[in-house]
Amino acid sequence: MRIVAGDFKGRRLKSPTWEGLRPTSDRLRETLFNILGASIEGARVLDGYAGTGAIGIEALSRGAAHVTFVEQDPRAVKLIEANLAPLEGGVGRVSQTRRAIIRAGFAEAAARLADEVFDVIILDPPYAHGAAATALAASRPLVRPGTRLVVEHAVRDAAPADHEGLLRRRTVKAGDSALSFYGI
């Protein structure tokens, strides 16, 4: 895994050494950020189900003002910290003020973050039947007019067309993965 573009382009990221964590591929991350385009610059981003932190780190590399990483697995939290460590300090680097890591399940973290404003929310729940709908339900209190919400899911488990006022605007498929874009 590597950072695709931006200030940290080409930097390698550490991968999990255990089963059960499925990092978003470089190709799918590139597709995601090509679609999001300039909206990442200066944005407050939430990386839900962060895993390795690759999505949030890509957002920081492309100029996000702040990224909040949410991850429940303590091993993955350590992996996110290890992937962020070489990016800290110095000019153009990721200071502690540009990122936060919350160790919690996504629904619990979303409830705690309900008063925060995020410009972009990217969720990568486990590829399981109904996981996209569960992630959407948990994220609903965080979505405001203008918030861009993206859910990664397996193609075989389509994300809902609408959920609690969230409307799917677009779905992009790549291999067995898909990205569904939502707004209100």
5 lies in some domain: no
Name the burial class of residue 55, with classes exposed (0-12), middle (13-18) and buried (19+) by CB atoms within 10 angstroms of its CB: buried
In a domain, 11, yes or no: no
Q: Is the pLDDT of residue 91 over 90?
A: no
At 107-155, the pLDDT tens digits run 999 999 999 999 999 999 999 899 999 999 999 999 999 999 999 999 9
- The number of domains in the chain is 1
Residue 52 has pLDDT above 80, yes or no: yes
Residue 139 falls inside a structural domain = yes
- Comparing 34-43, 87-96, 171-180, the range with the smallest average pLDDT is 87-96
Phi, psi (rounded to 5 degrees) for 68:
-105, 120
Tell me which residue has tokens 């100029």: 63
Question: In percent, how much of the chain has pLDDT > 90?
Answer: 80
Query: Is 12 among the domain residues?
Result: no
Instruction: Tell whether the model's pLDDT for residue 90 goes beyond 80.
Output: no
